[in-house]
Amino acid sequence: MAKGLPQIGDKFKGAVQKTDQEQKITDLQAEVERLRASQSPELETEIAKLREQLQTQTGEIAIDTGLIDPNPNQPRQTITQESIQAKARLLKKHGQITPVILVAQDNGRYMLLDGQLRWSGAKLLGWKTIRALIVPQPEDLDQSSLLTFLGFEDLNPLDKAEAIFKEITKSTGLEFDEVTTSLATVLKRLERNNQVKELTKLLTASSEEQEQGLEVLGVTGEEQAFFLVFLEFGLNPASVKSNLLPMLSLPEDLKKAIRHQELKGAHALALATLSSKTLKISEQEAAIERIKATEQVLKENLTVPETRDLIKGIKAKYLTSEQSESKEVKVIIQKISSGLSEITLANASREQLQSLQEILSQKLNEIGKLMG
């Protein structure tokens, strides 16, 4: 082989992504043609290697769909058959516009970093191969997966909340309850000091500025650690507390509706107010009411305000307006409790005690009737 040829492959060894400089692709193509023009048979093997690298540079590699495995820890835990069928219809009509992103495994297989719906839709259509981009194994696969998914509008808030707090507890070593308690405490203090806007400004700051900004706000130590994770993901901690954290405490029937019936997060939070505590009924009865209301919301495609009106009507069946306390009765109670002391009763005659007993008995009967 001609002198210097081994360096040609080394020149492009690290190229695996489509976003690597297009100039490298042009240079590689030119190198292939130059070697071909020399007409040396010893160069054929090197040319084949270079062509393979050229294909890798473009990221348009066809991978057997049967060699791909899903990421078991991916944030998207909700994948319905309906969503796969919808993606399959789009693939059939428009073709595969965006390649999936894969991580090569030691056993010759690949793991999905991004594109599970596209891969599932392709398999449903019977595609043997799918276009893919192969990337190196990320140092933190869970965090890389989460960063990939956070920008997707169709990632439901329950999956999003679970993935975010899983990453928070893993990266900080704190328990879930510790994170939520500290989050609420810090935000309450910032609200009291009118500093919430300063926290929001840190979303667009650099990592160094975020750390310095949190220190100015008095957020240090363990609290700063998980606040920095929120900011790294582009999440406003106040919004996380208001919109994502409540997702994790939803009843199981509502979580199931989000995962399998595509119930929206805002609707689920509204329906969650139909609790046993609010309606003053058993947990089982409350669940029945929620499930019926959820089915109506989904069937009639109700808006959030319409859902709240529905919930208001359900609550009205169980709750009665509290009657205001009677000031007169309050005075009577005070007089009876303070006036009927043992000393006072001891000085009364038998006839007086008997009359008092009859009056009290009569009033007790009247009270019993009023109470049903």
Segment holding 148, helix H or strand E? helix 141-150
- Please list, residue by residue across 179-189, b when 16 or more beta carbons sit within 10 angstroms of its beta carbon and e when fewer do: bbebbeebbee
Query: What one-character DSSP code corresponds to residue 324?
Result: P
The gap from C-alpha 11 to its chain's centroid, in whole angstroms, comes to 43
Segment holding 112, helix H or strand E? strand 110-114
Task: Please tell me the predicted confidence (pLDDT) of residue 44.
Answer: 53
Distance set, CA 4 to CA 41, 88, 189, 321 (Å):
16, 49, 66, 91
pTM for this structure? Answer: 0.49
Question: What's the CA gap between 372 and 363, in Å, rounded?
Answer: 14
Angle at 15 between CA 13 and CA 18, to 5 degrees: 165
Give 66-79 pLDDT, tens digit per residue. 999 887 766 566 66
Question: What's the CA gap between 230 and 156, in Å, rounded?
Answer: 18
Question: What's the CA gap between 6 and 1, in Å, rounded?
Answer: 9
- Report the side by side order of strands in the sheet with 110-114: 61-64, 129-135, 100-104, 110-114, 68-69
- Please list, residue by residue across 113-130, b when 16 or more beta carbons sit within 10 angstroms of its beta carbon and e when fewer do: bbbbbbbbbbbbeebeeb
* C-beta of residue 32 within 8 angstroms of C-beta of residue 50: yes
* C-beta of residue 360 within 8 angstroms of C-beta of residue 336: no
Higher-confidence residue of 49 and 109: namely 109
Q: 62-141 adopts what CATH topology?
A: 3.90.1530
Question: What's the CA gap between 306 and 15, in Å, rounded?
Answer: 54
Question: What's the CA gap between 165 and 235, in Å, rounded?
Answer: 12
> Could you tell me how many residues make up the chain?
372
Task: Please tell me the predicted confidence (pLDDT) of residue 171.
Answer: 78
Give 218-277 pLDDT, tens digit per residue. 998 888 888 988 887 778 888 888 888 899 999 999 998 988 888 988 899 999 999 998
Residue 47: how many CA atoms within 13 Å on its side-chain side?
14
Asked whether residue 288 carries a pLDDT value surpassing 70, the answer given is: yes
Task: Please tell me the predicted confidence (pLDDT) of residue 297.
Answer: 94
Question: What's the CA gap between 162 and 49, in Å, rounded?
Answer: 44
Give 119-143 pLDDT, tens digit per residue. 889 999 999 999 887 776 655 545 4
Task: Please tell me the predicted confidence (pLDDT) of residue 332.
Answer: 77
Question: What's the CA gap between 278 and 304, in Å, rounded?
Answer: 19
- Sequence ranges of the domains in the chain: 6-55, 62-141, 158-243, 250-318
* C-beta of residue 156 within 8 angstroms of C-beta of residue 38: no
